[in-house]
Structure 1
């Protein structure tokens, strides 16, 4: 009898990829392009994981909707231009990320997926830049309500046929952990991301990627 399939979902920005410099630079370009004061870096990083319209709602709440729409457009253009110019160096992977993805991908009953606030275009570009062709389900902001709505995870579960008890969500922000909780899956916070891990209320916390495989074995031990 074959082992049950397990779904391991990853957030991207702040969890797999260290994209904070790219995000801060694109946000600065967007705000300066509208003649607005640039939010503090900590404020910018606090909204990483939200879809761009919601992020701009939080960063520029007093400005008209048309201005916030221009901020979204400016951010997208700046982010894409830098990505095309810098390639894999634009959003480097955190130490150990590529290795743990390869390790987990080699386990027959493990299915890997992504649930990210990135666009489809942005995710596809990052996957291509780093050769990460290990994800069987890829949920992006284009097709779902923003985190922490559970739509991304629920869709990934439906696509893979995995039950919530056999899935985990791994992320670095409250949006990731709240999304996982809303979808009824276990949650794992990483402590190298953009929100303090100890404040997220996750089921588990890891401080390096080499802790992930043993933790998953513990979670799903029979």
Structure 2
């Protein structure tokens, strides 16, 4: 039996977190009396680590990036405390994760721009404590699209790159996968356009979670 690995991005792939991301970004910019970027601009940087996100969002305010990062985190925590930071799962996500986790030949991992604290909270809320065998977060790696997170997933699970798949909604996920020698499976329900995913190297783009089992079977049949 050849062990296979499916690595999932989180925001925009497993959970729809745009509501609290937009609200947290708005709070961070208000705290600095700066005009908040528009929705499209904010969603375009989802998946990057926060410092890298602010490099792109405020190229002319390098002196404020650290404090904007902290203000974002503070706003997000305030939203969580007041129950306003709920990120619903996309339809079919829970079922596909459970089915994959039940297979003896598949292990699951996460590669996310979230902090470990943010990911731990999401895992606790959804009861995923025993679901993933490798968890990679922005705290311990260069920002996507650097391949460090995917390479670490491979190292921790012992799975060969040819037997692994990265599932994500952004070009950063697909570029990260390509950099690690892993095939990228894009999803259409997230924050980047399909064309961006294809241009970044996605081998296929899913229209719904229900399409994932067949897509994975096809990918694993063709080395």
Check 1:30–1:220 CA distance in 2 against 1; reply closer, same or farther (3 A cut).
same
Structure 1 runs of 4+ off > 6 angstroms? none
Q: Which residue of 1 aligns with 2:154?
A: 157
Q: Secondary structure at the match of 2:190?
A: coil
* Pairwise CA RMSD: 1.2
1:98 aligns with 2:94: yes
Q: Secondary structure at the match of 1:127?
A: helix
Q: Which residue of 2 aligns with 1:142?
A: 139
Of 80, 105, 115, the residue aligned with 2:77 is 80
Output the TM-score relative to the length of structure 2. 0.95
Q: Secondary structure at the match of 1:220?
A: helix
Output the TM-score relative to the length of structure 1. 0.95
Of 80, 105, 129, the residue aligned with 1:109 is 105
Equivalenced residues, count: 218
Q: Which residue of 2 aligns with 1:32?
A: 30
8 Å CA contact retained: 2:27, 2:72: yes
Q: Which residue of 1 aligns with 2:184?
A: 187
- Cα deviation, 1:20-75, whole Å, max 9, x if unaligned, reads 0110000000000000001001100000000000101111110133x111100000
- Cα deviation, 1:57-111, whole Å, max 9, x if unaligned, reads 111110133x111100000111122123327x61111111111100111111100
C-alpha distance in 1, partners of 2:112/2:26?
Answer: 22
Q: Secondary structure at the match of 2:144?
A: coil
Which stretches in structure 1 are left out of the alignment for 5+ residues? none
Q: Which residue of 1 aligns with 2:41?
A: 43
Shift of 1:221: 2.5
